[in-house]
Chain A
């Protein structure tokens, strides 16, 4: 079973700052199967990135994804007020078929 570990648990930043979120897999995985989601309180998750680095439709270019092997990163180049939320990484392809990280909260400093 693949375990995804996200860090930090909480990231306290100010609008305009750069956010760097980490997702580490318990073993080497295919970057093609790594996705990132944003979730705001009371809302469903929203797909941001798929295939580790491909932005989903309508996602601003301040969001970018990178990584390979066991280490993946979601970067928000300049935080906008609407970006303060929870972020989850997700992997497809093992048992269970879909695995989520435990999440990172990006909060206003």
Chain B
């Protein structure tokens, strides 16, 4: 079965760069069938989508974080990564990686392609503190 595992430093100093990697097992990033996302969740709060990346390296970022986010993919290692620069305490959160999947559903009389996140990693806690 498909599994995702986040890894990276649990503590980052303010103004530095947060770096996380998501390792995919049970599926190949190179298949081109999926996009791959990063999502974060501050303690006791809701979910915030950070961005997504495709096999080709094509990316979509949340406009609220776009100036500080870079995502990359390493198909040889079946991994994708997140870098968030100039971090502050507000970036302290549980960071998840997830697989963006799609399916066709019936919408009235039409068949429509829809999207959802069907596999998630267990999350990696990152604290920003000096």
Contacts and interface: CB of A to CB of B under 8 A. Distances in A.
Given A30-B107, A43-B122, A95-B63, A100 B115 contact: no
Interface string A90-101: 101101111111
A103 B46 contact: yes
Contact of B107 (A32, A44, A46): A32
Nearest to A4: B46
A45 interface: yes
B49 A44 contact: no
Interface stretch (A10-18, A19-27, A49-57, A71-79): A49-57
Nearest to A50: B116
Residue in B60, B62, B115, B120 with the greatest tally of chain A CB atoms within 10 Å: B115
Interface in B9-66: 37, 39, 46-49, 52, 60, 62-64
Interface string B69-110: 000000000000000000000000000101000010101000
Nearest to A98: B49
Interface residues of B, number: 27
Nearest to B115: A92
A17 to B, nearest CB: 25
A interface, how many residues as a size bin? 20 to 34
A35 B102 CA distance: 12
A3 to B, nearest CB: 12
A45 B49 CA distance: 13
Contacts of B47: 45, 88, 90, 100, 103
Given A50-B103, A100-B47, A56 B118 contact: yes
Interface of A: 30-33, 35, 37, 43-47, 50-51, 54, 56, 88, 90, 92-93, 95-103
Interface of B: 37, 39, 46-49, 52, 60, 62-64, 96, 98, 103, 105, 107, 112-118, 120-123
